A and B are shown apart, each in its own frame.
Chain A
Amino acid sequence: MKETKESSRRKFIKSAGIALAGLTLLGGGIGYYKSVDGPKFTRKPNFLRPPGAIDEETFVYACIKCGLCVQICPVEAIKLADINKGLNYGTPYIDVREQACDFSCDSLQCVETCPTAVLNFKPFEIAGGNAIKKYYKEHKATNPGFNPFSVQIVAMKSRVRMGKATINKETCLAYHNKGFNGRPRGKNFKGIYRSPNSQTGKPAPLSEKIFDRKICNLCVTECPIGDKAIVMLASGKEAKLRPQVLDGCTGCGVCVMVCPTQQASIIVEPIEEDNHV
């Protein structure tokens, strides 16, 4: 059949109509889906966006799903969501119960590598810069051995707000005055992290570590942020030591990963910090 100009134009209009209808359906469908579930749908405990994530609504469209943050993470905490995860397909998330962010990259590489700034590096850059300035102000005679990097990284990781940890007092061992002895997550657990007491300074498998505590305080001793984030405080009538989450908590989730109870007795709930600057 020979195609004339007229017939090919009619063909185009017909298929364009079908295409437009398809696009409208698709667009409407996604729009409806988003209005029903909204960003809140994605904000479930222990499912966090990587450090520096901007508000969820912007995150969803500005993330180009390249996976550079996934590649750069030394402990492989970041994964890309499949469609059955309740997150936007291809966007990065951290399941802290399986593998928490332990800051062992020391420089928030995932944030720095993000090309569309959905993981926004600006706040960290500013926090790091200010910390160095402050250090020099306080130590007027410049210390020749001073490495600004160490001050900078502490300031940068303290600025992270992926979420905030909350303790489940019903199941927490410490709240029942129980200790813990053994491997917190069993021999086959795959997660790794850098312990603050680590000799090597490198991430090591949690399954290799055996703890022995009279009162369980793993979440406190293993926290990469330290006593600004979580401490053992004497509370209650008997003044027993119990873990308390403080305002310095970054939501990195190491506490969730190391928690030895069947269901983690500490969870990280996402908070939406405004990381636009």
Chain B
Amino acid sequence: MFNNPKKKSPLPAKSLKKMPHYKAGITYKEWHKPKPETNKWRNIRWSVLIAVNGLFVVSYLFGLSILEGSLSGSRALGFYLIDTYNALQVIIISLFDGHFAALTINFWIGFSTILILSVFGGRTYCSWVCPYHLLAEFAEKLHNYFVKKKKIKEHTYSIYLRFVFWIGFLFVALFTKNIVFEDINPVGIISRSLIYGPSLLLLWIGALLLFEIAYSKRFWCRYACPVGATWAITGKIAMLDVKFDLDKCGYCRDCQEVCLVPHTLWFVEKGKATQEVHFTDSDCTRCGLCIDICSGNALNFTIKGMDKI
């Protein structure tokens, strides 16, 4: 995991004889013909996302103890779960302000459970649970449409900006003694609005989505969100990953086209891969769009280390 495959020298691009269509004895066009749109993983993922958020709403509406609370802190069947970035801010302020000792055991259980989960799945939370992600996915589609029509230009920033925000919001929290980030956090705002009734802050969510449609694609998720950044940090050692087989790849780059974080799929370009097998890095949200579209089934979900057992 500390052996960065990006820094290795790339393998030579595959020759025609090694291309998957040649091996199957068909033309490249036949091999690359559009698959019937199954969208298997996308449908599963959207169902999970809606089910999780729906479970929060149902639990509140009918007073069930299935999934209480909201996405910033909840109790699943009596078991506490606390959002790590939220918890981190509380921990840092209370360390300096003396509330630290009062934090309950349930807080620590919730915090460490999510930490352990994130070590397993990395940013899976983003595309499988986060309600803002779903809205932003549609915003992204709109954005792509407008770019294609040449109505707007694309604006990109450095993806490392997230870590500036990540540290920045921690400092702001510490200096103002207030979890300022929670006032603008789309995850919390949408989750709370769904469960406890709409908040005026939904206007801010609207503005953010408009900005993403009209100016910079997926601005919040890619460059700002410290919640996602937290999952990405712990996801460095995530076990659940998307595995790439160079052997089955036809260099079509369809996967990069649909990918929500295309820089994680750097190895699919011709002559870029440095190993026969690659895993997506910690920024991958495990959304499965690339798996759905791949003509050669070169991409698949995998749990690292399972083959060794």
| B86 interface contact, C-beta 8 A | yes
* Smallest CB separation, B83 vs chain A (Å): 7
Determine if A12 and B178 form an interchain contact, defined as CB atoms under 8 angstroms apart: no
Nearest CB in chain A to that of B162: its residue: A19
Determine if A117 and B102 form an interchain contact, defined as CB atoms under 8 angstroms apart: yes
Determine if A116 and B175 form an interchain contact, defined as CB atoms under 8 angstroms apart: no
Interface locus among B103-111, B236-244, B278-286, B300-308? B103-111
Nearest CB in chain B to that of A69: its residue: B69
Chain B, residues 177-212, CB within 8 Å of chain A (1/0): the string is: 111101110001000100110011100000000000
Rounded to whole angstroms, the CA-CA distance of A90 and B71 in the bound complex is: 12
| A23 interface contact, C-beta 8 A | yes
Determine if B73 and A62 form an interchain contact, defined as CB atoms under 8 angstroms apart: no
Q: Which of A55-94 contact B (CB under 8 A)?
A: 57-58, 60-68, 70-72, 79-80, 82-84, 88-90
Determine if A117 and B68 form an interchain contact, defined as CB atoms under 8 angstroms apart: no
Determine if A12 and B192 form an interchain contact, defined as CB atoms under 8 angstroms apart: no
| B146 interface contact, C-beta 8 A | no
Rounded to whole angstroms, the CA-CA distance of A31 and B172 in the bound complex is: 9
* Smallest CB separation, A127 vs chain B (Å): 17
| A8 interface contact, C-beta 8 A | yes
Rounded to whole angstroms, the CA-CA distance of A16 and B183 in the bound complex is: 21
* Smallest CB separation, A13 vs chain B (Å): 8
* Smallest CB separation, B4 vs chain A (Å): 15
Determine if A61 and B104 form an interchain contact, defined as CB atoms under 8 angstroms apart: no
Determine if A66 and B72 form an interchain contact, defined as CB atoms under 8 angstroms apart: yes
| A114 interface contact, C-beta 8 A | yes
Select which of A65, A70, A115 is within 8 A of B107 by beta carbon: A115
Determine if B93 and A61 form an interchain contact, defined as CB atoms under 8 angstroms apart: yes
| A27 interface contact, C-beta 8 A | yes
Determine if A68 and B72 form an interchain contact, defined as CB atoms under 8 angstroms apart: no
Nearest CB in chain B to that of A74: its residue: B63
| A15 interface contact, C-beta 8 A | yes
Rounded to whole angstroms, the CA-CA distance of A149 and B200 in the bound complex is: 43
Determine if A23 and B73 form an interchain contact, defined as CB atoms under 8 angstroms apart: no
Select which of B63, B87, B171, B196 is within 8 A of A27 by beta carbon: B171
**Interface residue total, chain A, C-beta cutoff 8 A:** 45
- Listed residue (B89, B171, B192, B200) with the most chain A CB atoms within 10 angstroms of its CB: B192
Select which of A80, A116, A276 is within 8 A of B192 by beta carbon: A80
Nearest CB in chain B to that of A81: its residue: B199
Rounded to whole angstroms, the CA-CA distance of A23 and B70 in the bound complex is: 26
| A30 interface contact, C-beta 8 A | yes
Chain A, residues 256-277, CB within 8 Å of chain B (1/0): the string is: 0000000000000000000010
Select which of B68, B83, B164 is within 8 A of A16 by beta carbon: B164
Rounded to whole angstroms, the CA-CA distance of A8 and B90 in the bound complex is: 34
Select which of B93, B94, B165, B201 is within 8 A of A19 by beta carbon: B165
* Smallest CB separation, B9 vs chain A (Å): 17
Select which of A65, A88, A117, A121 is within 8 A of B103 by beta carbon: A117
Determine if A58 and B70 form an interchain contact, defined as CB atoms under 8 angstroms apart: no
Determine if A62 and B99 form an interchain contact, defined as CB atoms under 8 angstroms apart: yes
Q: Which of B100-126 contact A (CB under 8 A)?
A: 102-104, 106-107, 110
Nearest CB in chain B to that of A58: its residue: B99
Determine if A84 and B107 form an interchain contact, defined as CB atoms under 8 angstroms apart: no
Determine if B177 and A57 form an interchain contact, defined as CB atoms under 8 angstroms apart: yes
| A213 interface contact, C-beta 8 A | no
| B80 interface contact, C-beta 8 A | yes
B residues within 8 A CB of A36?
Answer: none
Determine if A19 and B73 form an interchain contact, defined as CB atoms under 8 angstroms apart: no
Select which of B90, B97, B164, B183 is within 8 A of A116 by beta carbon: B90
Nearest CB in chain A to that of B183: its residue: A89
Interface residues of A (CB under 8 A from B): 8, 11-12, 15-16, 19-20, 23, 26-27, 30-31, 34, 54, 57-58, 60-68, 70-72, 79-80, 82-84, 88-90, 113-117, 120-122, 276
Cβ contacts A to B, 11 pairs, < 8 Å: A8-B158, A31-B176, A61-B94, A61-B173, A61-B178, A62-B90, A63-B179, A64-B182, A71-B68, A121-B104, A122-B102
Interface residues of B (CB under 8 A from A): 59-60, 63, 68-70, 72-75, 80, 82-83, 86-87, 89-90, 93-94, 97, 99, 102-104, 106-107, 110, 157-158, 160-161, 164-165, 168-169, 171-173, 175-180, 182-184, 188, 192, 195-196, 199-201, 223-224
